[in-house]
Amino acid sequence: MQIPSLENVQVDNLPDECREPWDLMIRQWSQKLERNLLRTKYYDGRNELKNLSIAVPDSMAGISEVVGWPQKSVDALADRIVFDGFVGVGDDSRDPLGLDSILSDNDFDVELPQAIRSALTHSCSFLNVRSAEPEDGLRSKVSVSFRSALYETGLWDYARRGLSAALSITDIDRSQYAQANTIVPSELMLYMPGYTIRIRRAQSGRYHADAPRNTYMDHVPVYLIPYHQDLNRPFGRSRISREVMSITDTAVRTMLRMEVSAEFYSSPQRYLIGADEPPEDKNGKKLTGWEATISKMLNISLNEDGQAPAIGQFTQMTMQPHTDMLRALAARMSGATGVPLSQFGVMTDSGPSSSDAIMAAESELVIEAKNACRAIGVQLRKAARDIAILNGTSEDSDELDRLQVNWRDPERPSQAALSDAIVKQVTAIPWLANSDVVLEKLGYTDSDITRLLADKRKAETRSVLDSLVNGGNKDDGQPATEPVASQPSQGGGTGTPRSGETVGDAATAQP
C-alpha cells in the first residue's frame, strides 16, 4: 500500500505562526506512518510470514497463508457501533436544526461507519467541518469529510480537549502516479483556530498556500474519532494491538504447518528393510523419496542374498496437535479482543449455545461498543454544533444544547425479545406508547419513524375530516331533510308538529 509522503513538502508562503505546528505535525505523521501501515497490512491479511525455520523449510515459507482474525476483531466491534442520527428535545426532535439534508449531501451515513472502522484499525480517524466551496460540488453550505490516520494528523490540546491544529491530505497528483507510480500530494488543508489554509502543488513541484479563509470559530473544526483513548494516549489505541499481531503470526505458522503436514497425512510414510537399491518405476528409473511415497506401483528387486526386502508403513500421523494449537490460539484471540470464540471459525466440542450463553460470550464486546459510542458521540455532537452554526443557526440557540447523538442498541436483541420487553414496559407505564423513543427501541430507523409519524398524521387528519362531514349531515340525530311547509292536515289540523314529533309524524297525526 502506497501513501503520499509529506517529508519533502515545502510551502513557500506559509504564515510564520503556522510553521511550528506544521513541522510538528509532519514529524508526528512520519513517526506513526510505519505502524499504521503495518496494522493496515494485518487488517487486509497481507502481513508477512515470520518463519522460525524449524518445522517449515525455507522452500515452503513463500506459501501464502492468511488468517483474518485482525479484521474480524475490528469488524465485530464496528458492526455494533451503528449511528442512528442526531436527536433533540421538542416537536422537531426528528431533525433538529435541519441537519439531515446536510448530512445526506455529504454521505454522512455511509462514510461514518468507514471512519469508525478506520479508527478501530489505526486508533483514530478525523472528522473535518468547514464552509463548502464551489469546487467541492456540494448543494449544502457545509462540507463534512472524514480522513484516516494515514491521510491526516493533528496536535492535541489538553486544555481545549480537542485539536489545536490539523493537517489533511485532500488530493494526490494522479499524473505522477500514472507516469512514475509514485504518490505525491497535490492538495492539503491546514486547519488552525479561526481559519483554514488550502495548500496546492504547482507544476514546478513547489507548494503554494492560498490566502487564509476565515471560519469565524475560535477553535479547530476537526474532531477526533478515537478508540480506547486515555489521558496518556489522547489519540487512542488500535484494536490490532501487539498481542493481536503476535497471535496472528503464530496462527499463520500453525496453518502453514497444517498445510505441510496434510500432504504427509494423506500419504503415510513407508520403509524398506533389506533392499540394496531404491525402488524403480516401470521404466527402471530410480524413484526419489517423494516419488516413491506418492507412487501406486513400485518395482523392487531381490537383494544380493536373493531375499525379498521387507516393506512396511509407519503409523499414520494425526492432525490433532495442529487443530488443538489453532483452537488454543483462537481462545487467546477471543480473550484479547472480546470477540466470541465461535466467530474466529473454530468449532468447539459442545453443542449449540443457549441464548444466555451467547449473551454472556458477547457481554465484553457489548461493553466495548457502548464505551466507544459514548466517546465518539461526544465528538460527533461537537461537530454537529459546528455544522448547524455554519448552516445559519445562532450560537446562542438553546437547541444546540439539547442536541444529542442517537445510537442503535449494541446488544442487538431479537425482535421477539425486544417486542416483549416493550409491551411489558408500556403496560406498566402507558404514556410511553406516545413517545418516539419506543419506536427507536423497537429498531425502527430514523427514516422509518419519520414515515410512520407522517402516516399517523394523515390518518388523524382523515379521521377529523370524516367526523366533521358526518357531523354536518346530522342535527341531534334527526334526518337531514328539508322541513315540510305547514299545510292543513286531515281532520282540519294545522300541520304544526307537537313537541317530540317529527314533521312526518305531525302530518299523519289525528286530532
The set of residues, in sequence order, having a beta carbon less than 8 Å from that of 107 and lying 6+ positions away, is none
Q: Looking at the predicted structure, is the pLDDT value of residue 194 above 90?
A: yes
Q: What's the pTM value of the predicted model, to 2 decimals? A: 0.78
Indicate the pLDDT class of residue 56, thresholds 50, 70 and 90.
low
Cell of 451: 414515515
Say which range, 23-27, 326-330, 432-436, has the weakest mean pLDDT. 432-436
- Please write the tens of the pLDDT for every residue from 412-470: 777 777 777 778 888 888 887 777 777 777 777 777 777 877 888 888 788 888 888 88
Indicate the pLDDT class of residue 260, thresholds 50, 70 and 90.
confident
**More confident: 196 or 346:** 196
Integer Cα distance of 170 and 196 in angstroms:
13
Instruction: Give mean pLDDT, residues 169-182.
Output: 76
Q: Looking at the predicted structure, is the pLDDT value of residue 476 above 60?
A: no
pLDDT of residue 314: 65
For residue 459, CA distances in Å to 109, 463, 473 come to 31, 6, 21
| Mean of per-residue pLDDT scores for the chain | 81
- Cell 542374498 belongs to 305
pLDDT of residue 4: 78
**CA angle centred on 153, ends 151 and 157, rounded to 5°:** 160
Q: Looking at the predicted structure, is the pLDDT value of residue 356 above 90?
A: no
Say which range, 168-182, 271-285, 396-410, 425-439, has the weakest mean pLDDT. 271-285
Instruction: Give mean pLDDT, residues 115-128.
Output: 97
> Are 48 and 246 in contact, with CB atoms under 8 Å apart?
no
pLDDT of residue 474: 56
> Are 410 and 443 in contact, with CB atoms under 8 Å apart?
no
> Are 263 and 278 in contact, with CB atoms under 8 Å apart?
no
Where do the structural domains in the chain lie, given as residue ranges? 1-247+316-412, 427-473
Indicate the pLDDT class of residue 491, thresholds 50, 70 and 90.
very low
Indicate the pLDDT class of residue 274, thresholds 50, 70 and 90.
low
**More confident: 9 or 81:** 81
**More confident: 231 or 89:** 231
Indicate the pLDDT class of residue 495, thresholds 50, 70 and 90.
very low
The set of residues, in sequence order, having a beta carbon less than 8 Å from that of 439 and lying 6+ positions away, is 448, 449, 452
Instruction: Give mean pLDDT, residues 192-216.
Output: 91
3-state SS, one letter per residue, for 70-130: HHHHHHHHHCCCCEEEEECCCCCCCCHHHCHHHHHHCCHHHHHHHHHHHHHHHCEEEEEEE
Q: Looking at the predicted structure, is the pLDDT value of residue 351 above 80?
A: no
The set of residues, in sequence order, having a beta carbon less than 8 Å from that of 206 and lying 6+ positions away, is 10, 12
pLDDT of residue 195: 95
Most confident range, picked from 4-18, 189-203, 311-325: 189-203
Instruction: Give mean pLDDT, residues 120-129.
Output: 97
**More confident: 87 or 225:** 225
Rounded percentage of the chain residues whose pLDDT exceeds 70: 77
